[in-house]
């Protein structure tokens, strides 16, 4: 797996909305804005599912994601292989974290992504360059 830099982690931490892309088993794409995401460590993302419908179905069929956001200076695209947790320690910690953000949110699952690739998003000659 890939280890992200502090710059990438700080960039995501400072972002309010990221865009999560998935695809069905037939390759039909889906992209949604999300607000509950964070790095668990240098190799792992956590995305909390409160409202996923098509997205959850896609993740069950095709456990790969692309998460894209724009930070203060540039943006990043992170690709990851995911697992879905609906019980156990990871799910419990996800529920606590999300309820700490907003008490009325009710997570249905915790999406844990092991990062496989990171790309730079910015204009110019490095646009779309794979950096990790």
Q: Is the pLDDT of residue 33 over 90?
A: yes
Q: Could you read off the pLDDT of 83-132 as tens digits, one per residue?
A: 999 999 999 999 999 999 999 999 999 999 999 999 999 888 888 889 98
Domain that holds residue 60: 6-121
126 is a domain residue: no
How many domains in the chain?
A: 1
pTM of the model: 0.94
Q: Could you give the CA distance from residue 76 to residue 13 in angstroms, rounded to a whole number?
A: 12
Residue recorded with tokens 């959850």:
56
Query: Do residues 79 and 66 touch, judged by C-beta distance below 8 A?
Result: yes
CATH number, domain containing residue 76: 2.30.110.10
Q: Please name which of 91, 18, 106, 26 lies closest in space to residue 58, comparing C-alpha atoms.
A: 26
Q: Could you read off the pLDDT of 46-67 as tens digits, one per residue?
A: 999 999 999 999 999 999 999 9
- pLDDT on residue 1: 73
129 is a domain residue: no
């Amino acid at each position: 797996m890939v280890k992200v830099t502090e710059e990438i982690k700080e960039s995501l931490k400072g972002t309010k909305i990221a865009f999560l892309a998935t695809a069905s088993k037939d390759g039909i794409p889906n992209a949604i804005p999300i607000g509950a995401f964070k790095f668990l460590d240098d190799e792992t993302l956590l995305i909390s599912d409160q409202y996923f419908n098509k997205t959850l179905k896609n993740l069950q069929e095709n456990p790969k994601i692309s998460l894209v956001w724009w930070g203060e200076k540039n943006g990043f695209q992170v690709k990851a292989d995911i697992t879905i947790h609906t019980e156990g320690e990871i799910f419990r910690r996800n529920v606590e974290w999300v309820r700490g953000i907003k008490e009325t949110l009710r997570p249905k699952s915790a999406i844990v992504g092991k990062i496989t690739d990171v790309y730079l998003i910015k204009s110019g000659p490095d646009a779309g360059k794979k950096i990790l």
